[in-house]
Amino acid sequence: MTEHIENTLKTIPKKPGIYKYFDKKWEIIYVGKSVNLFSRVHSYFNGKSKLNFAKKKMVTQIENIETIIVENETESLLLETSLIKEYKPKYNILMKDDKNHMYIKITGDFYPKIVKTRLSPSNTSVIRGRKNGTYFGPYISTGHVNNILHIIKKYFWYWCYNINFFKEWSGYNLDKYLFKNNTAEKNNILTQEEIQAEYLSQIEQIKYFLRGNYREVIENLQEKMLNFAKNMQFEEAQKTKEQIESLQSLDISQNVRDKILWNYDIVHFIEKFEHFYIWLLEIRDSKIIGYNTYEVKAQLEETPTEILQNFIEQRFALHQTNNEKISFISPQEIPDIYSEISVEIPKIWPKKDILMMAYKNAYEHAYKKHLDSLSTKWFTKATMQNLLKILDYKEINKSLIFECNDISHYSGSHTVASRSIIENGKSNTSKYKKFKIKTLEENKIDDFWSMREVMTRRLKEIEKTWVLPDLIIIDGWKWQLWSVMEIIDNFKKSSQNDEFLELLKDLQIVSIAKQEEELFLPGESESILLEKDSLELRLTQKIRDEAHRFAITFNRDKRLKAMKKNILESLPGFWPVTRKKILNKYWNVDKLAEISINEISEILNKNQIQTLQDHGLFPD
């Protein structure tokens, strides 16, 4: 501690306020607040407080201290938030507050456009009518606005470009646009008035939708989906189902309406993949006006409770600036929060339900960010070699090969498996494999049995090729690993090939458990924890997640193909050989409507073609 710092500490008042730490370049490196500046600032330098490593490192960089006295805790909180936003000190947790909300605007043009904007309208009602357009919002997240506009484009249609549709009736005019979107008959020439009337009708439906009336739209789509399915138009039914799911994701406000009264910020968090994520849900007048996810890195190794407290206090300061009275719903108690801040910890429905929804969204965001980070990581052969050294395994092949197997099913149906491969640090998709599980009863869930079949088939494959991967990765805890090792031991006992048994001695296996990303080795009771940000862990996660993705995709494709096959099985006169011909050549039953009568006559007789026509699968 320098003499200057010692002298400064003596002059610090025992009053509420904020303190600023400066480095040797006179740059602010930290801003804090306290009800007693003297006690708080001295705690960094008196040696009695147990500072973590990050705080000790910060203290060594402090060359000067300044304080500002305020009247009360609220003023210190507001001033601290303001200074953090202005100077962005490197040791402070910086939270973006999205004060400038997004709006969706429907312009007042002759042919209205729909745009997103940050230019807020003059008053504060939820829906605002003005000469230059109608505003919907505010929405706290740009991503949320983009999602809404994407849904509208899929379900409705609208124009969003500045084009003169009626300039000499040439180029890309509106009647062509209407025709493209299936709103005009092919040979019907519409007048300008008719075009405008039809277009404005769509705009009114969009306004109705943006006012939060999602459920009526969803019900119409559900009826439409059932009609498609009834007429065996399964491709169209699937597309409509996807639209319904997207609309349901926007129907949160309908679920919360009339359940949570007043104005709340609902906050939940998750610490995952060495990052801390906070999910914020804003409820105003019992309606959700937006949500956002904040990614936080603890600069001074703050605890989750400290990070959550910091976030809520900054949100409170923002609300004070805007003269808003907002309460908070939190998943846990925060002992040191300012008394003026109202924080509820819900115990019963519906607030507990909404809080759980916030947690699920925080988790999904964290997982997506994790996958995105994996896709951008550059792995090398050296990363694979390092992982083998950590596991005390050896290199078997000149070209290093890691593989991972995974199981996927849908409530026990269409159980499949997959294998992903990383070779010399890169995914080798040409060697990815997918398997149908043949020995498991349909609609029975048994991942251990499924993995038993996969590993048995893999061992037989090794027996034929005499090629061992350098490492086999199992997705699961040590129980799954023990099951696999039991399969290998049984296979060894049944084999009469001594040379093959000698080869299997070099078989190297590890399992990875998702919750804590622990690695388990055969015969070892203790797990191995890799460094959270290490390339070795990222490599293991990547191959595991790739196998999972590949298995899920195969399962979905298999279910869709089975659905198509079941359609043909219900038709009279379509025996297994005939069904196989159709599926092998066209795969998709809906494609039958696109081929000529001459082409389909090559594989079907007249009676079969007539049956297809009677069921609407082939044009008359």
pLDDT in tens, 262-277: 788 889 888 876 678 8
- Which residues is 68 bridged to in the sheet? 18
Do the domain assignments include residue 165? yes
* 464 and 402 within one domain: yes
Contact criterion met (CB below 8 Å) for 249 and 146: no
Q: Residue 74: pLDDT above 70?
A: no
DSSP percent split of the chain into helix, strand, coil, nearest 5: 45, 20, 35
Q: Is the pLDDT of residue 565 over 60?
A: no
Of residues 348 and 315, more confidence is placed in 315
The last residue of a domain, from among 58, 87, 116: 87
Task: Say yes or no to pLDDT of 131 above 50.
Answer: no
Task: For residue 225, tell me if it sits in a domain.
Answer: no
Do 76 and 200 fall into the same domain?
no
Is residue 14 scored above 70 in pLDDT?
yes
pLDDT band at 508 (very low <50, low <70, confident <90, very high): very high
Three-class secondary structure of residue 130 per DSSP: strand
**Helix intervals (H) in 269-407:** 304-321, 351-376, 381-390
Structure tokens at 423: 């070779």
Looking at 339, 372, 405, the residue that finishes a domain is 372
- Shared domain for 479 and 609, answered yes or no, is no
State residue 62's pLDDT score: 93
pLDDT for residue 175: 47
- Residues 444-478 have pLDDT tens digits of 777 778 888 888 888 988 888 888 999 999 888 88
What pLDDT does 589 receive?
67
Q: What percentage of the chain exceeds 90 in pLDDT? A: 9
Residue 286 shares a structural domain with residue 366 = yes
In a domain, 229, yes or no: no
Domain CATH for 56: 3.40.1440.10
Which amino acid type is present at position 209?
F
> Domain of 484: which CATH number?
3.30.420.340
pLDDT given at position 612: 77
pLDDT at 567 over 90: no
Q: What is the DSSP string of 267-290?
A: EEEEEETTEEEEEEEEEETTEEEE
- Span 225-232, mean pLDDT? 76
| CA 246 to the chain's CA centroid | 14
Q: Which amino acid is at 62?
A: I
467 within domain boundaries: yes
Looking at residue 158, its pLDDT comes to: 62
Pair (63, 158) in one structural domain: no
Whether 403 and 550 share a structural domain: yes
Amino acid at 433: K
Kindly compute the dihedral angle of the four CA atoms of residues 321, 324, 327, 333, in this order, to the nearest 10 degrees.
10
Does 515 share its domain with 386? yes
Same domain, 79 and 122: no
Domain assignment present for 362? yes
Contacts of 13 (CB under 8 A, 6+ apart): 37, 38, 67, 69
Model confidence at 561: pLDDT above 90: no
**Gap between the Cα atoms of 393 and 549, Å rounded:** 27
What pLDDT score was predicted for residue 255?
45
pLDDT band at 415 (very low <50, low <70, confident <90, very high): confident
Q: Domain range spanning residue 440? A: 381-554
Q: Would you state the pLDDT for residue 20?
A: 92
pLDDT score, position 408: 80
The CATH code of the domain that includes 276 is: 3.30.420
- Both 417 and 538 in one domain: the answer is yes
Residue 223 lies inside a defined structural domain of this protein: no
One-letter-per-residue 3-state SS of 13-62: CCCCEEEEEECCCCCEEEEEEECCHHHHHHHCCCCCCCCCHHHHHHHHCC
Predicted confidence at residue 471, as pLDDT, reads 94
Is pLDDT of 254 > 60? no
23, amino acid identity? D
Res 127: pLDDT: 39
Residue 474, φ and ψ in degrees, nearest 5? -105, 130
How far apart CA 16 and CA 35 sit, in angstroms, is: 4
Q: Phi-psi bin for 543: left (phi > 0), alpha (psi -120 to 50), beta?
A: alpha
**Angle in degrees, 0-180, between the axes of helices 234-249 and 142-155, rounded to the nearest 10:** 150
| Tens of pLDDT, residues 481-495 | 888 888 888 888 888
Count how many domains the chain has: 5
* Range of weakest confidence among 140-144, 204-208, 312-316, 336-340: 140-144
Across-strand partners of 410? Answer: 413
Whether 478 and 541 share a structural domain: yes
Residue 218 falls within a domain, yes or no? Answer: no
Give the tokens for residue 560. 């869709």
| Residue 121: pLDDT over 70 | no
CB-based burial of residue 171 (10 Å sphere; 0-12 exposed, 13-18 middle, 19+ buried)?
exposed
Mean per-residue pLDDT of the chain: 76
Residue 494 burial by Cβ neighbours in a 10 Å radius (0-12, 13-18, 19+) = exposed
Higher pLDDT: 102 or 582? It is 582
Binned at pLDDT 50, 70 and 90, residue 88 comes out as confident
**Model confidence pLDDT, tens digit, residues 374-412:** 555 567 888 899 999 999 999 888 889 999 988 886 655
pLDDT tens for each residue of 173-224: 444 444 444 444 444 555 667 777 777 877 887 888 887 666 777 777 788 8
In a domain, 124, yes or no: yes
Are the beta carbons of 279 and 365 closer than 8 angstroms?
yes
3-class SS string, 150-180:
HHHHHHCCCECCCCCCCCCCCCCCHHHHHHH
Q: In this structure, are 537 and 406 located in the same domain?
A: yes
Same domain, 523 and 401: yes
